[in-house]
Structure 1
Amino acid sequence: MSQVDVIAIDGPVASGKGSVSSGVAKALDFHVLDSGALYRLTALACMNQCVDLSDAAAAEKVAQSLNPLFKDGKIYLEGKEVTDAIRTEEVGLNASKIAAYPGVRKALFELQRRSAVAPGLVADGRDMGSVVFPEARLKIFLTASAESRAKRRYNQLKEKGISSNIDDLVSDLKDRDRRDMERSVAPLKPAEGARILDSSGLTLQETIDLVLAWYRESKA
């Protein structure tokens, strides 16, 4: 059981979990766990090693040996900075595929649990409240319409100089939602006791403020 406060923020891809988690953590001076980055790192490592992504055992082996470094807002894999590399659509799609493998999820479980250290943790992912931190003080299921999420992702990619198509992004997001919700292990769904937060009509700061208000309420 975690001995420090954990705020678990789960939800579908591109729902704004990363930005909200960072904002909440900054306000509270908490650590942040971007669990999605671990799956993306595993996917990138598989791609770098030319591992067949349909081979669950091979992907699990890569996950077991994963030793990333998170430092000063940047992410390193085998000594190379991969902060932007793991955010490509190709890596994201492959991460969604290997996240369905029970062996991969098991390999990354303890790595995530060890992130709960003082003064507190904001954990961002798909199963933070339901599986990894069921004892979390506050559990949030952050969602938004596929169209709203696609627009956000489009703008993110545009800022990085990556061309994309809104309709394709909507289709990809719906495919990934279905795959995440239908997988046999830790399917995407609100954790027991989670508060549902639809951010479709909210600004980033409004969403952060609401999570902070709910956290203060949980401690009252």
Structure 2
Amino acid sequence: MSDDLKLAIFDLGQVCFRTHLERCYLEWEDMAGIRPGSVSRDFPLDDQYEDYERGTMSGRSYGEYFCMLNELSLDFEEWKEGWNSMFGEIIEPSRKTIKLMQQAGVTVVALSNTNATHVESWKGRYDELIESFDHLYLSNEIGMRKPEPRVFEHVLSSHDVGASQAIYFDDKQENIRTAERLGIESVLFDDDSLAALWWKRRPVPSPSS
């Protein structure tokens, strides 16, 4: 990364707030009246899920597909309630770092693989956090998802910055690899304090003479 940091890109789940997929399964099993652990925890990251995240498959259609795949007797509202139960607490060090970056003149954006069902559920839960970003790049709205290189290229070009002027935080190795191949300095997020530590230790440009 160059000394001239202009853009910080944050993933959302497990970087800015907690997600707990196990909660979804327990909710679904409870509502379906089946024993906990009955549904396979091998979440299907298949073509249908990617379509759902790109916004080309509706939440209702995906919910019906998921229930069919897992033999769950749930209506859409029940499935949606379970699906939205995954969201947990805000990761405070990340939230505070976003504010510090913006105070220093850095543009801070969110880049997330997500879906319309989840985005709607954030209202009232994460309003302050979501509104703190200078821009949101959500897969279901832009029709692209990580780790496609074009997603990162789209974000960079939208802010007219080069790869060397950006920093990226994500908890998925495959997304980090793509960003790094494009020349974006990237931090694999496996600890709550990583964004704060990176900001504290970042290279600071020397004053102009």
Q: TM-score scaled by structure 1?
A: 0.32
Q: TM-score scaled by structure 2?
A: 0.33
